[in-house]
Chain A
Amino acid sequence: MAERILDRTNDEWLAALQGAGEAQAPALDDLKERLQRGIFYYLSRERSDLSSLSSHELEQMSEDMAQDATLRVLNNLDSFRGDSMFTTWATRIAVRVAISDLRRARYKDFSLDNIMADGDFLPASANPLMGERPLSPERVTERNEVLGKIRAALSEVLTDRQFRALYAYAVQGVSLDVIAEELDTNRNALYKLIHDARQKLRIYFENQGLSMDYLINLFGES
């Protein structure tokens, strides 16, 4: 059996992985094994949400992720600029693969179609009975007015696509990877779309004289 070389220089990694056949196979195995150990460590030590899985299941999961990551590394060798250790660069790619997989699994039943149109999720009225002590009639009116402005902002300032994306991201806590897939776009385009939505809304609110402190204070008060 060929001796395993776990510590290659960057050039050795590249030469082995770019070459075909004899040199490539052991390098691929070593890379996959290394990535798998890193991923397994992360899954078993840092992910409390996976604590119900057995060690065997985590092994299996890390092996699948490492397999995908190794292929991803192989397909992207051209983009390695030599600006770090090769394995550090490969680990960065593996992390992306692993975390995307985890996010997809977490939100596998997610659908943007289930998000209702603009503003319907907001409380229907200021509901003065909900708080610990009753609100003054003036405060109730003020809350209702501001709620109306927020509802208007969400439907007038944002496109339907922006609203759904922002709602899924901010309120439901769904991952950008998952929303991007639903919207048939990539994560960066989606990040920009949401970023634009956030900025448009912030400017709109600021023009209306509504600051974060004011809003938190108005609705936080009970």
Chain B
Amino acid sequence: MDEKLRKIIEVIFTTHEEGEMDCPTCHENLHRLWSLVENGAEISEIVPALAAHLACCPECKEEYDAFTCIMRAEQQGLTSPPEA
């Protein structure tokens, strides 16, 4: 199948419904979410709207992954100070 055609079809039919979360709201909630996520909470259970946004917004997903990656590394002491 033509690659460009497939991408257009996919992007059209994978949109979420009106009233779902937008990018800034998604982003602005990340820091508050961390205390729950670090204790193993599933975001799809605690904030389904945010999980739904991440599922159809690769950009916010990339930011979410980067954020949790850094937070987890800090928590585990992997970002140790240079002189330590």
Contact = CB atoms under 8 A, between A and B. Distances in A.
Contact of B34 (A37, A88, A195, A199): A88
B63 A95 contact: yes
A171 interface: yes
Nearest to A169: B11
A88 B6 contact: no
Interface stretch (A11-19, A20-28, A50-58, A211-219): A211-219
Interface in B28-46: 30-32, 34-35
Contacts of A170: 7-8, 10-11
B81 A37 contact: yes
A139 interface: no
Interface size class of chain B, counting residues whose CB lies under 8 Å from the partner chain = 35 or more
A219 B32 contact: no
B9 A45 contact: no
Contacts of A84: 31-32, 34-35
B2 A38 contact: no
B47 interface: no
Given A122-B2, A123-B5, A33 B81 contact: yes
A41 B78 contact: yes
Interface residues of A, number: 51
Interface in B49-74: 57, 59, 62-63, 65-67, 69-71, 73-74
A219 B71 CA distance: 44
Contacts of A98: 66
A220 B1 contact: yes
Contact of A191 (B12, B22, B69): B22
B70 to A, nearest CB: 4
A216 B79 CA distance: 46
Contact of B15 (A34, A40, A123, A198): A198
A20 B35 CA distance: 31
A207 to B, nearest CB: 13
Interface in A116-137: 121-123
Contacts of B22: 188, 191-192
A140 interface: no
10 contacts: A42-B73, A46-B65, A89-B31, A150-B8, A201-B12, A202-B12, A202-B13, A216-B9, A219-B6, A219-B9
Interface of B: 1-2, 4-13, 15, 18, 22-24, 27, 30-32, 34-35, 57, 59, 62-63, 65-67, 69-71, 73-74, 78-82
